[in-house]
Structure 1
Amino acid sequence: MHPNIQFPQSFLEAMAKIMPDTLHMDDFIAACQRPLRKSIRVNTLKISVDDFLKLAHNKQWQLSPVPWCETGFWIEADETLVPLGNTAEHMAGLFYIQEASSMMPVSALFSDTNETPSYRCVLDVAAAPGSKTTQMASLMDNEGVLVANEFSASRVKVLHANIERCGVRNAALTNFDGRIFGGWLPEQFDAILLDAPCSGEGTIRKDPDAMKNWSPESVISIADTQKDLIESAFQSLKVGGTLVYSTCTLSQEENQQVCWHLKNTYGDAVSFEPLNDLFPEANKALTEDGFLHIFPQVYDCEGFFVAKLRKHAAVTTPEVKKRLGKFPFAKATKKVSQDIAQQLESSLGIVLPEHSTLWIRDNDVWLFPDALEEMLGEVRFSRMGIKIAETHKKGYRWQHQVATALASWNIDHSVELNTEQAREWYMGRDIRPDDLSGKGEVIVCYDKNVIGLGKWVGNRIKNGLPRELVRDKNLF
């Protein structure tokens, strides 16, 4: 618990002014001083919810459904020996540890079930560490293209590691200030999530220092950036498209006023979509504009804000001069594509997915989602799709993401590790399965879940786990 959390007096006064009459300041402070309930989201790219519920029962994990996310659960688990993040199920990408309230923006973006199939092109403006990106990828079922942008170069690595772990193959990563998209990719996206950088007033339950540098002046400064970001996101949205704006903060300056800034700027081109039907009891946090302004005591979660907006008309976008240089990839010929596909199926039993195309860069083979092609040459991507192979004299050397993003357990092309061997695997060590040997690459599994790709060297499997995924302690 965090009973000694100190709030700036000016913050408490600001909250008292905007808190609905149905809520009380004592309850707000008490909620902020309680630890957060731990929550997870099932990654349906790897496992169904029903199968995960059976797994959780066997693990003696107690799950309670999160009402605004069909794949979200609050979890009670004994973590005295192994933290949830070091369990085999987490490392295999079967679930993502995600705060319950942060599941809400993506649920809002995809809440119109009749529209979800038309989300061919989606943008996540501020994507790291990847909780919402991977949530969107699962709802898209790895179809279309999901552009995941992150301004901080160091956080792009974390974003990519989580995308890789969760088996996402339709993502294209960018590393830009989010304010560039309106000019560089105008009217490009069917749906956009702007989970904006904010003052983090709602996160104090998990971070007692969240308010350490808080001031009314910093709130205003951040709100100015948020207004720039929402304008750019709106410019990049197709007419008829959906934009969800969210923050993990509570001040109206960073929430309602940012949405109204967009409405006042673009008038009838903007409408607010009410979120009263997003989940049972959503009305408890509903504002008069149809937004969800969530104080932590309402649903016993982080403080959060979610607004859903729709674009009804084209708007003026900034003029930009593009100097991107030569695109370093070339589309694989039909003959080369067929050869790669045949060898992949023959060696690992993997069939390349539809709506994707092979591209070549030097000796590397990449798989891009087809929906990405219209953006190639329009903006610079730091990583696109998945790298599936490196060419060499005898054919192709398959890569880790072939296993994590394309493979499933297959008795003919995989090897099943025991618990001790799986620990060794995640620690980056080679494996010597009992009385087994083989040739070429092999899909490595634990508990019938794919955990990587190895290569037989006699009776030893050479470890192919990327360096950034190697763990060194406290494993399952």
Structure 2
Amino acid sequence: MHQNVYLPAEFLSEIEAILPSQLNMEDFIAACQRPLRKSIRVNTLKISIEAFLARAKSKGWQLEPVPWCEEGFWIEADESEVPLGNTAEHMSGLFYIQEASSMMPVSALFNDKDEEFSAVLDMAAAPGSKTTQIAAQMGNAGVLVANEFSASRVKVLHANIERCGVRNAALSNYDGRVFGGWLPEQFDAVLIDAPCSGEGTVRKDADAMKNWTKESVISISETQKDLIESAFHALKPNGVMVYSTCTLSIEENQQVCLHLKETFGDLVEFESLADLFTDADKSLTEEGFLHIFPQVYDCEGFFVARIRKTGAVEAPKVKKRLGKFPFEKASAKVQSDIAKQLKQALDISLPADASVWLRDNDVWLFPNALEPMLGEFRFSRMGIKIAEAHKKGYRWQHQVATALATGEEAMCVALSIEDAREWFMGRDIRPTDLSGKGEVFVKFDNDVIGLGKWVGNRIKNGLPRELVRDKNLF
């Protein structure tokens, strides 16, 4: 129990004033003092739900479905020896440890199964739970722009994208307020999981409310209004936006959405989330938003709104100084040569919806759907790096393993559990009675976990430093 959860008296008064009549404060406070149930989301870019359920059963993990996310499960697992984050399945990208309520915004964005999005913006993306969830919903097709304002968090975002096998993402590092002017009406869908006062997160962090004031709530809401306007301008006509927060105040939630409606009138249409999952009506507002108090579904406090842009809007005027774009699209001949060598070396075919781009000796694979934005915006990282050119050909890179390999390739070596541990700790390995030459995929339990290079009877480790673990491994 988190009996030491800090809940300021003024905050409790605010909650009491907005709490729906069917709920009571005693249950609210009791829910805030209960630890969160741990939850995970299956990464369908790497494994099917059915195959993951079989894997979980063999490990004795107890799973309970999250009602609003087909891939989401509450989990009970013995972590006394190995934390879930250090299991082979997690390090291989088969699942993401994600709070159940935070799965809801992406489920709401993709609520209409007949709607397909070829360009999506995740405006506040780190650490990557929702970004990787969106990429899985897109099936790695189209382009996913993942923006994060905090430079230090972009590294974490990239590491999670890499681990989960995402190849259609372009990362940027800006204040989200720039998108409306720089990329107006470029996106079929936008997720704005807005920075907020975090009132719903006390079950995860007992001190989350230590610095809470009503003044800070009002101040944050002004920033949120700027962000939602920017997101609206970045959205194509008839595009859909989801606005979400992990907070409870109406100033940061309903009032932000109503501000958008007041600003753009009939061009803003609120779409009800009543059918998102069974019992969604228990948290439905009169506008069709979901305003979730922690006692209702035993999760974090959360807010989700789905908004349709019904027509075009003139975008804010901006002056652009982009500088020279440092990449050059490979010629048809070079693309064909790289594709041929990759097939010969690693039995990998390049996806049809992506193209090879070059920067000095680096070889990158960009999603074709990104091209209209390349001359309009500066990204910090695009697509995946697949190779470095050298005198004798190409030196293939780790993301070929995470984002393109399936484990069925001819150039694969299956590792023992001991060798797999050594691999994840960044060490070279010596598989028993094997030797070879050139690059080779390594896999454990039929999951590709990396790309190495034969040096005699040793495979040189190619795991990027940010993915190396050094203790409590499976």
TM over 0.5: yes
Q: Which one-letter code corresponds to 1:217 in the other structure?
A: E
Partner of 2:105: 105
Partner of 2:383: 385
TM-score scaled by length of structure 1:
0.99
CA deviation digits over 1:248-306, x for unaligned, max 9? Answer: 00000000000000000000010100000000000000001100000000000000000
Partner of 1:77: 77
Partner of 1:4: 4
Correspondence 1:429-440 to 2 at 5 A: 429-440=427-438
Partner of 1:331: 329
Partner of 1:52: 52
Measure how far apart 1:411 and its partner are. Answer: 5.7
Describe the SS at the equivalent of 1:253: coil
CA deviation digits over 1:29-64, x for unaligned, max 9? Answer: 000000100000000000000000000000000000
Query: How many Å separate the matches in 2 of 1:338 and 1:114?
Result: 35
Partner of 1:134: 132
Matched, 1:445 2:446: no
Q: Which one-letter code corresponds to 2:300 in the other structure?
A: E
Matched, 1:286 2:289: no
Q: Which one-letter code corresponds to 1:194 in the other structure?
A: I
Describe the SS at the equivalent of 2:385: strand
Measure how far apart 1:410 and its partner are. Answer: 2.6
Partner of 1:358: 356
Query: How many Å separate the matches in 2 of 1:317 and 1:208?
Result: 42
Name which of 162, 165, 172 aligns with 2:163: 165
Structure 2 residue runs of 5 or longer lacking an equivalent are: none
Partner of 1:62: 62
Query: How many Å separate the matches in 2 of 1:258 and 1:318?
Result: 19
Partner of 2:400: 402
Question: Are the equivalent residues in 1 in contact too, given 2:363–2:387 (CA < 8 A)?
Answer: yes
Measure how far apart 1:412 and its partner are. Answer: 2.0
Matched, 1:427 2:425: yes
Partner of 2:366: 368
Q: What percent of counterpart residues are identical?
A: 75
Query: How many Å separate the matches in 2 of 1:6 and 1:440?
Result: 57
Query: How many Å separate the matches in 2 of 1:227 and 1:239?
Result: 20
Q: Which one-letter code corresponds to 1:442 in the other structure?
A: V
Partner of 2:19: 19
Partner of 1:312: 310
Matched, 1:297 2:295: yes
Partner of 1:121: 119
Describe the SS at the equivalent of 1:451: strand
Query: How many Å separate the matches in 2 of 1:4 and 1:16?
Result: 20
Query: How many Å separate the matches in 2 of 1:215 and 1:54?
Result: 47
Measure how far apart 1:315 and its partner are. Answer: 1.7
Q: Which one-letter code corresponds to 1:110 in the other structure?
A: F
Partner of 1:241: 239
Q: What is the root-mean-square deviation in Å for CA atoms of aligned residues?
A: 0.6
Describe the SS at the equivalent of 1:396: strand
Question: Are the equivalent residues in 1 in contact too, given 2:348–2:409 (CA < 8 A)?
Answer: no
Partner of 1:31: 31
Query: How many Å separate the matches in 2 of 1:461 and 1:4?
Result: 51
Query: How many Å separate the matches in 2 of 1:357 and 1:144?
Result: 12
Matched, 1:211 2:209: yes
Alpha carbons of structure 1 residues 411 and 290: separation in structure 2 relative to 1, 3 Å = closer
Residues paired across the two proteins, number: 474
Query: How many Å separate the matches in 2 of 1:332 and 1:411?
Result: 26
Correspondence 1:143-182 to 2 at 5 A: 143-182=141-180
Q: Which one-letter code corresponds to 1:148 in the other structure?
A: A
Describe the SS at the equivalent of 1:35: coil
Describe the SS at the equivalent of 1:276: coil
Query: How many Å separate the matches in 2 of 1:258 and 1:420?
Result: 53
Partner of 2:199: 201
Name which of 347, 350, 354 aligns with 1:349: 347
Query: How many Å separate the matches in 1 of 2:408 and 2:431?
Result: 17
Measure how far apart 1:6 and its partner are. Answer: 2.5
Correspondence 1:449-468 to 2 at 5 A: 449-468=447-466
TM-score scaled by length of structure 2:
0.99
Measure how far apart 1:455 and its partner are. Answer: 0.3
Correspondence 1:182-197 to 2 at 5 A: 182-197=180-195
Describe the SS at the equivalent of 1:245: strand
Query: How many Å separate the matches in 2 of 1:435 and 1:6?
Result: 59
Query: How many Å separate the matches in 1 of 2:12 and 2:352?
Result: 54
Query: How many Å separate the matches in 2 of 1:468 and 1:70?
Result: 30
Describe the SS at the equivalent of 1:358: strand
CA deviation digits over 1:283-336, x for unaligned, max 9? Answer: 000001100000000000000000000001222321111111111111111111
Query: How many Å separate the matches in 2 of 1:70 and 1:332?
Result: 40
CA deviation digits over 1:399-424, x for unaligned, max 9? Answer: 00000000011362111111111111
Question: Are the equivalent residues in 1 in contact too, given 2:93–2:164 (CA < 8 A)?
Answer: yes
Partner of 2:266: 268
Measure how far apart 1:238 and its partner are. Answer: 0.3
Which consecutive aligned stretches of 4+ in structure 1 deviate over 6 angstroms post-superposition?
none
CA deviation digits over 1:128-180, x for unaligned, max 9? Answer: 00000000000000000000000000000000000000000000000000000
Question: Are the equivalent residues in 1 in contact too, given 2:38–2:74 (CA < 8 A)?
Answer: yes
Q: Which one-letter code corresponds to 1:77 in the other structure?
A: A
Question: Are the equivalent residues in 1 in contact too, given 2:182–2:318 (CA < 8 A)?
Answer: yes
